[in-house]
Structure 1
Amino acid sequence: MDALPSSPLGWLCTGVTLLFGVTVLCMAKRSPVEKADVLVWRLLPALLGLLCAATLGAGGGLVVFCAVCLVSSAYLGVRALLPVGDKAVLITGSDTGIGHALAKYLDNLGFVVFAGVLNEDGPGAEELRRTCSQRLSLLQLDITNATQVKEAYLKVSEKVQNTGLWGVVNNAGILGIPADAELLPMSTYRRCMEVNFFGAVEVSKIFLPLLRKSQGRLVNVSSMAGGIPLPRYAAYGASKAALSMFSGVMRQELSKWGIKVAAIHPSGFRTGIQGTSDLWDKQIKELMENLPADTRQDYGEDYLLGLKSYFLHMPAYCNADLSPVLSAVLHALLAKRPHGLYTPGKGAYMSLCIFCYFPLWFYDFFISKMLSTESLPRALRTSEAETT
């Protein structure tokens, strides 16, 4: 009998705890998708409050109960998702990879999906037509073509009308050829910036009036290479870094309109962004034809051709399961309090932390070991041989 509350404060503590528990059960009934989170992070404080009231007394129990409630509420504020309802989302680059998987994923969840594709008659577009619901609409959308971007805007605005567009996912991107920055032709730098940065900016600017109507979300798929320097990804990384900085500025500027902006920095995933072996052959040919004679001599043709081996082995080091990226985009689209930055995938967050908080010499050492290659340019091999 001594465990029961015997003071007005004790009864108040017990009553608040019971009321909290009943409220949580009602929330779980209304939101079955989040039932596990709600039951764990709201019922747990309720039960803990009763236990504390019984063991610590009324005052101590109330203090512990309130403290745990604050922590769980903060956690649930991040975890809580809005209902899908009839929310409409535009995804660029839906032919293959993350964009293709995301279009299927969001369609399956009940979103109205506008899937922008580079080729509306291509195999990726045909598969979306075959496997997705009637809610999904395909858009011919080369994001470097201003006319196609404007035509896509007119088609989307006609369908969503006064409700606006809930989300824009700037996913379309190209990798270019992974090689030393000195070796890359200027055309590769320009092409990466044109697609990965300027294209995303163009789409964002054109579709922002529709996002303002819905107070929706702008999600930019950047890369781990957009947050940290990685050898052989100068052109790609620079374009993605520009996109990440654009996302940060837009997050600040668009908050006054109620629009939330997020950047996704995935680590290595198998998306097909590296293209085909035939595409590589075309790019390596362009690279070798544009190299100055002395640069070609210093690196050596065997080093240049060795880059192809690196290219062909890239997928083996990438994760084929895209679900971490899809979950991150979904959270960015539906969370009541989305993050400004997501780092899905193995090593993405750890590498970013090392770059930000450790000395640069340690980061460079870490990356050199993580991305170590046996091949050296000809001039360096010759220099080593002379000194031994």
Structure 2
Amino acid sequence: MDALPSSPLEWLCTGVTLLFGVTVLCMVKRSPVEKADVLVWRVLPALLGLLCVATLGAGVGLVVFCAGCLISSMYLGVRALLPVGDKAVLITGSDTGIGHALAKYLDSLGFVVFAGVLNENGPGAEELRRTCSQRLSLLQLDITNATQVKEAYLKVSEKVQNTGLWGVVNNAGILGIPADAELLPMRTYRQCMEVNFFGAVEVSKIFLPLLRKSRGRLVNMSSMAGGIPLPRYAAYSASKAALSMFSGVMRQELSKWGIKVAAIHPSGFRTGIEGTSDQWDKQIKELMENLPAATRQDYGEDYLLGLKSYLLHIPAYCSADLSPVLSAALHALLAKKPHGLYTPGKGAYMYLCIFCYFPLWFYDFFISKMMSTESLPRALRTSEAESKNL
């Protein structure tokens, strides 16, 4: 058997494969962050094509090879990342949870990070000072405080000067107490909207001039609950849904400035947003004290106290591994072609698909089974008992 190609078509296959190999090596050298993706999605089609040439002949092999190259090129067109360079990113809510982990992660990759914290002397801020590089700057930033937002803008603009700010990650958020919508005080609805929506809008508006200079990225950390209705999350879901819609509108409006906008809808992750046991006790006590007498009678104190049991079980259903969210945020910040919506985490995309593409009755039935609780309000238990006795 000849070692060299014996026909023009085989020579063509060999030439294309060599050219492809040189391209792969160049891409790996330019994009070290994406080295694994490049090697897998570029080398695999090449090997497949050569195998097909050997087994099926040059004609069929070339067709399979070209098809593989096309698919891998489309995939890598989405996966390709820009170099970090000296890109500067502002992250709100960096005291704990996703914001804290993201600040550390981006700092380790070489970003210039501005970490906005609710308490610049708190344990989260101290840990960032201790573990991160000198590139990271801490900002006292309560996003519901217009004065602090403006002061943060002045500090950031002074440091980035003419280069602009590459990215803003609106991560700060609160959960409130998960409870039936009827039970939640109006204060909870207002607090969720103030932090999760109005605060993010305020930060976005203030920092957009810096994003225009760099033609950078606006990333809004929404939630799976911002895309689908979930029982007991009325206040939180409404505020996150508002943030998601804001992201969609901004994505359209800011495209003419070269600014790309993304919303991230994580599923359940263990971030500490649900609060502590002492905070739950205080919130449930306030909730019970402020309920109308008729409502308290219908629900029953045992049902209301059972809300704490529900809160205690939330972390058990959440993942402690934040890497899917961090990867989504990095892609939103650096991808040449970022997605408009990211759904990291177990079940996030599945729930959204069921809500969008299945009948609502099926979605409601599905959610009722997935999030069912044993306890019922007192009035419903009484009604069931009376029905059984008839």
- TM-score band by shorter chain is over 0.9
Equivalent residue, structure 1, for 2:93: 93
Secondary structure, aligned partner of 1:279: helix
Equivalent residue, structure 2, for 1:342: 342
Contact 2:90-2:116 at 8 Å conserved across structures: yes
TM-score of the two chains, using structure 1 as the length reference: 0.96
Contact 1:91-1:103 at 8 Å conserved across structures: yes
Equivalent residue, structure 2, for 1:106: 106
- RMSD over aligned CA atoms reads 1.6
Shift of 1:253: 1.2
Contact 2:215-2:259 at 8 Å conserved across structures: yes
How far, CA to CA, are the matches of 1:175 and 1:317 in structure 2?
16
How far, CA to CA, are the matches of 1:41 and 1:319 in structure 2?
29
Which stretch shifts more, 248-257 or 164-173?
248-257
How far, CA to CA, are the matches of 2:223 and 2:241 in structure 1?
8
Write the deviation string for residues 174-200 of structure 1: whole angstroms up to 9, x where unpaired: 001110000111111011001000000
Shift of 1:5: 4.2
Shift of 1:268: 1.0
Equivalent residue, structure 2, for 1:28: 28
Shift of 1:340: 1.1
Write the deviation string for residues 220-270 of structure 1: whole angstroms up to 9, x where unpaired: 111111011000000000000000111111111111111111111111111
Q: How many pairs does the alignment contain? A: 387
Which stretch shifts more, 21-30 or 82-91?
21-30
How far, CA to CA, are the matches of 1:160 and 1:60 in structure 2?
55
How far, CA to CA, are the matches of 1:266 and 1:201 in structure 2?
20
Shift of 1:203: 0.4
Contact 2:164-2:212 at 8 Å conserved across structures: yes
Shift of 1:44: 2.5
Which stretch shifts more, 76-85 or 152-161?
76-85
Contact 1:90-1:115 at 8 Å conserved across structures: yes
Contact 2:31-2:81 at 8 Å conserved across structures: no
Shift of 1:287: 1.5
How far, CA to CA, are the matches of 1:256 and 1:287 in structure 2?
47
Which stretches in structure 2 are left out of the alignment for 5+ residues? none
Which stretch shifts more, 312-321 or 262-271?
312-321
Secondary structure, aligned partner of 1:193: helix
Shift of 1:308: 1.1
Write the deviation string for residues 270-304 of structure 1: whole angstroms up to 9, x where unpaired: 11111122222222222122211111110111111
How far, CA to CA, are the matches of 1:34 and 1:313 in structure 2?
38
How far, CA to CA, are the matches of 1:267 and 1:220 in structure 2?
15
Q: Give aligned-pair identity as a percent.
A: 93
Write the deviation string for residues 286-329 of structure 1: whole angstroms up to 9, x where unpaired: 21222111111101111111111111221122111111111111
Equivalent residue, structure 2, for 1:194: 194
Write the deviation string for residues 99-154 of structure 1: whole angstroms up to 9, x where unpaired: 11111111111111000001111111111111111110000000001111011011
Write the deviation string for residues 306-365 of structure 1: whole angstroms up to 9, x where unpaired: 111111221122111111111111111111111111111111111111111111111111
Shift of 1:2: 7.1
Shift of 1:9: 4.1
Equivalent residue, structure 1, for 2:177: 177
Which stretch shifts more, 176-185 or 79-88?
79-88
Which stretch shifts more, 52-61 or 10-19?
52-61
How far, CA to CA, are the matches of 2:46 and 2:334 in structure 1?
27
Contact 1:14-1:53 at 8 Å conserved across structures: no
Secondary structure, aligned partner of 2:65: helix
Shift of 1:378: 0.5
Equivalent residue, structure 1, for 2:139: 139
How far, CA to CA, are the matches of 1:235 and 1:244 in structure 2?
14
How far, CA to CA, are the matches of 1:87 and 1:170 in structure 2?
17
Which stretches in structure 1 are left out of the alignment for 5+ residues? none
Contact 1:5-1:53 at 8 Å conserved across structures: no
Contact 1:5-1:57 at 8 Å conserved across structures: no
Shift of 1:172: 0.2
How far, CA to CA, are the matches of 1:259 and 1:87 in structure 2?
14
Shift of 1:215: 1.1
Which stretch shifts more, 300-309 or 28-37?
28-37
Which stretch shifts more, 272-281 or 83-92?
272-281
